Amino acid sequence: MNVPPDVTPDLAEVIGLHLGDGCLSRRLHGRHESNVVAFTAHKSEFWYYEEFVKPTMETTFGVSGRLYLRNDNTTRYHINDKELVTYLSGLGLPIGKKADAMIPRVIFKKGYTSRCIRGVYHAEGSLYRRYSKAYNQHARVYDNLLSLQIRMKLKTLMNQIHDELIRFGILCNRLTEKHGVYTLRVTSQLEIAKFMEVIGPRYKSTPPPITL
């Protein structure tokens, strides 16, 4: 494995993606130690892994890994490499099940937080049309009003994202918590447009079709 001299913007995006959809594992199987960097996503995101994530890992670290579609409608990308697990954990990514996590300090230092947030949004974000459940006389779906949301259990990371979006001049709703899950929403149409401009997601930039 090649150890990069520094974190790049593309790597910051992959790290954000891993904070949402990834896992580092280090396990002993008898005398053999298994070290895996794993990502799990929806099958519709296979193209993103094929066109961006895997090439970034190959260019940055000189490792390829295995990218494949499983029959449970998921995209899987696994890299078996002890040095890579050590490198990423050294940046602050937790090994094993994530109880909490944060944007690595080096990403703040390099000024790449917007790219890291882009990766998190790809993993845990959504853009949807507002809808009403409470009043029969209201439209069920407001096709001209959007809401943007990021939802996950990682408290420190969610607070960092909220604070960084505010720093970028993107006004967010108050961060909420329910049953250990933290939700960040942007409901102003102007602020959603700012998010799309500043964070620049590669997808999830338009809402899915209306289904009634």
3-class SS letters over the chain = CCCCCCCCHHHHHHHHHHHHHEEEEEEEECCEEEEEEEEEEEHHHHHHHHHHHHHHHHHHHCCCCEEEECCCCEEEEEEECHHHHHHHHHHCCCECCCCCCCCCHHHHHHCCHHHHHHHHHHHHEEEEEEECCCCCCCCCEEEEEEEEEEEECCHHHHHHHHHHHHHCCCCCCCCEEECCEEEEEECCHHHHHHHHHHCCCCCCCCCCCCCC
131 in a domain, yes or no?
Answer: yes
**CA distance linking residue 195 with residue 179, whole number of Å:** 27
- For residue 94, count CB atoms less than 10 angstroms from its CB and return exposed for 0-12, middle for 13-18, buried for 19 or more: middle
179 in a domain, yes or no?
Answer: yes
164 in a domain, yes or no?
Answer: yes
Strand-pair partners of 35: 26
Strand-pair partners of 27: 34
pLDDT at 185: 97
192 in a domain, yes or no?
Answer: yes
| Residue 125 and residue 57 in one domain | no
| C-beta separation of 69 from 78 below 8 A | no
Place of tokens 């940046």: 91
pLDDT at 138: 53
- If one counts the domains in the chain, the total is 2
| Residue 38 and residue 78 in one domain | yes
114 in a domain, yes or no?
Answer: no
b or e along 51-63 (b: 16 or more beta carbons within 10 Å of the residue's beta carbon)? ebbbebbeebbeb
Residue that terminates a domain, selected from 64, 97, 130: 97
pLDDT at 209: 56
**CA distance linking residue 59 with residue 8, whole number of Å:** 11
| Residue 133 and residue 92 in one domain | no
| Residue 81 and residue 136 in one domain | no
Domain containing residue 158: 121-198
Parallel, antiparallel or unpaired: strands 181-186 and 176-178: antiparallel
Residue that terminates a domain, selected from 81, 97, 113: 97
| Residue 17 and residue 81 in one domain | yes
Q: Residue 90 contacts by C-beta under 8 Å, 6 or more apart in sequence?
A: none
pLDDT at 43: 95
14 in a domain, yes or no?
Answer: yes
pLDDT at 66: 97
Specify the CATH number for the domain of residue 181.
3.10.28.10
**CA distance linking residue 199 with residue 212, whole number of Å:** 31
30 in a domain, yes or no?
Answer: yes
| Residue 55 and residue 125 in one domain | no
| Residue 86 and residue 25 in one domain | yes
pLDDT at 210: 47
Low-confidence ranges of the chain (pLDDT < 70): 131-144, 208-212
**CA distance linking residue 128 with residue 212, whole number of Å:** 14
72 in a domain, yes or no?
Answer: yes
